[in-house]
């Protein structure tokens, strides 16, 4: 049986829906276990809309709690390198998307 990759999605603004669709297109191989956004209302609404189990307002907390295989980054560009560095220190092996 193929491995199921656990993913988190960071940033739940305009482009985030496209990342959900991309995960859905894998037909179960990639499952988004949590969304992350500094806007608590937005991330809760987003997770509810797509039936994503987790909703976090802090990326480091999400990494520790979810232990993802993949991270979809849909936050502003100024945060991308910081997010990547934290992800590598966390020990995850793959970067999902920028
Ligand atoms: N919109 C597009 O068509 C498009 C296309 C290609 C790439 N992108 C990339 O995706 C990024 C996001 O685009 P968007 O249109 O969704 O922007 P957006 O402004 O609609 O959403 C960005 C989200 O990131 C959240 N955010 C900000 N700082 C955060 C942090 N530290 N941790 C977690 N979440 C944080 C914001 O609260 C917001 O909900 C763009 O900056 C760009 O790099 C967007």
Closest to 11 measured CA to CA, from 69, 67, 58: 58
User: Which residues, judged by CB distance below 6 Å to any ligand atom, belong to the binding site of ligand 1?
Assistant: 10-16, 36-39, 42, 59, 74-77, 79
Distance (Å, whole) CA 92 – CA 8: 12
Q: What is the pLDDT along the chain (98 residues), one digit of tens a residue?
A: 689 999 999 999 999 999 999 999 999 999 999 999 999 999 999 999 999 999 999 999 999 999 999 999 999 887 666 666 676 676 665 555 44
Distance (Å, whole) CA 77 – CA 74: 8
CATH for 5-90 is 3.40.50.720
Domain chopping of the chain, boundaries: 5-90
19, HSE (Cβ side, Cα atoms, 13 Å): 28
Whether pTM > 0.95 for this model: the answer is no
Ligand 1 atom index nearest CA of 59:
32
């Amino acid at each position: 049986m193929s491995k199921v990759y656990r993913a988190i999605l960071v940033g739940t603004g305009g482009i985030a829906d496209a990342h959900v669709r991309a995960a859905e297109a894998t037909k179960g191989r990639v499952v988004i276990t949590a969304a992350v956004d500094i806007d608590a209302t937005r991330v809760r609404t987003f997770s509810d809309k797509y039936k994503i189990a987790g909703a976090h307002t802090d990326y480091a907390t999400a990494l520790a709690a979810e232990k993802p295989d993949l991270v979809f980054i849909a936050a502003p560009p100024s945060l991308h390198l910081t997010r990547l560095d934290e992800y590598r220190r966390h020990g995850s092996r793959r970067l999902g998307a920028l």
